Amino acid sequence: MGDAGGDRAQRIAEHAAGLPESERGAYLDAACGADEALRLRVHDLVASSGPSASEPTEIMAPGDTVVAQPGTGIGSRIDRYRIVQLLGEGGFGSVYMAEQEEPVRRRVALKIIKPGMDTRQIVARFEAERQALAMMDHPGIAKVFDAGATDRGRPYFVMELVRGVPITDYCDTQRLSAEERIALFVETCQAVQHAHQKGIIHRDIKPSNVLVTMHDGRPVPKVIDFGIAKATNQHLTEQTMFTEFGQFIGTPAYMSPEQADPSALDIDTRSDIYSLGVLLYELLTGTTPFDPAALRRAGLAEIQRIIREEDPPRPSTRVGALASRPATSTVPTPADAPTVQTAPPASAAVATGGSSLEVIARHRRTDPTHLGRALRGDLDWIVMKALDKDRTRRYDSASSFADDLRRHLSHEPVLAGPPSARYRMGKFVRRYRRGVTVAAVFALLVTGGVITIAMLWVQAERARMTADEQRGRADGRATLAIDAIDAFQAA
Secondary structure of 374-435 in the HEC alphabet? Answer: HHCCHHHHHHHHHCCCCHHHCCCCHHHHHHHHHHHHCCCCCCCCCCCHHHHHHHHHHHCHHH
Query: The domain containing residue 42 runs over which residues?
Result: 1-49
Domain contains 118: no
For residues 487 and 491, give the distance between their C-alpha atoms in angstroms, rounded to a whole number. Answer: 6
- Looking at the structure, do residues 402 and 334 belong to the same domain, yes or no? yes
pLDDT at 370 over 80: yes
The enclosing domain of 272 has a CATH number of 1.10.510.10
- pLDDT single digits (tens) 457-485: 888 888 888 887 888 777 777 787 787 78
DSSP 83: E
Domain contains 259: yes
For residues 223 and 194, give the distance between their C-alpha atoms in angstroms, rounded to a whole number. Answer: 11
Domain contains 466: yes
- Looking at the structure, do residues 3 and 42 belong to the same domain, yes or no? yes
- Nearest Cα residue to 57 out of 173, 225, 300, 220: 225
- Looking at the structure, do residues 460 and 350 belong to the same domain, yes or no? no
Split into its structural domains, the chain has a count of 3
Q: Identify whether 204 is a catalytic site residue.
A: yes
Domain contains 401: yes
- Looking at the structure, do residues 384 and 255 belong to the same domain, yes or no? yes
Out of 431, 464, 482, pick the residue that ends a domain.
431
- Looking at the structure, do residues 418 and 448 belong to the same domain, yes or no? no
- Looking at the structure, do residues 258 and 329 belong to the same domain, yes or no? yes
Domain contains 113: no
- pLDDT single digits (tens) 89-146: 766 788 999 999 888 899 999 999 888 777 787 888 788 778 888 888 999 998 889 9
Q: Which amino acid is at 357?
A: L
Q: Cβ neighbours of residue 1 under 8 Å, at least 6 residues apart?
A: 9, 37, 38, 41, 244, 245, 246, 247
Domain contains 123: no
- Looking at the structure, do residues 340 and 471 belong to the same domain, yes or no? no
Out of 405, 431, 457, pick the residue that ends a domain.
431
Summarize the confidence of residues 418-426 as an average pLDDT: 63
- Helix (H), strand (E) at residue 291: none
- Looking at the structure, do residues 320 and 457 belong to the same domain, yes or no? no
- pLDDT single digits (tens) 383-418: 999 999 999 999 999 999 999 999 999 999 999 977
Catalytic hit among 204, 272, 380, 404: 204
Domain contains 183: yes
| pTM, rounded to two decimals | 0.68
- Looking at the structure, do residues 233 and 200 belong to the same domain, yes or no? yes
- pLDDT single digits (tens) 204-246: 999 999 999 998 889 999 998 876 656 554 444 333 333 444 4
Confidence of residue 438 (pLDDT cuts 50, 70, 90): confident
- Looking at the structure, do residues 400 and 327 belong to the same domain, yes or no? yes
Out of 431, 446, 464, pick the residue that ends a domain.
431
- Helix (H), strand (E) at residue 172: helix 167-173
- Nearest Cα residue to 232 out of 260, 197, 264: 197
Domain contains 248: yes
Instruction: Judge if the upstream peptide bond of residue 103 is cis by omega within 30 degrees of 0.
Output: yes
- Looking at the structure, do residues 425 and 440 belong to the same domain, yes or no? no
- Looking at the structure, do residues 414 and 472 belong to the same domain, yes or no? no
Strand, helix or coil for residue 465:
helix
pLDDT at 337 over 60: no
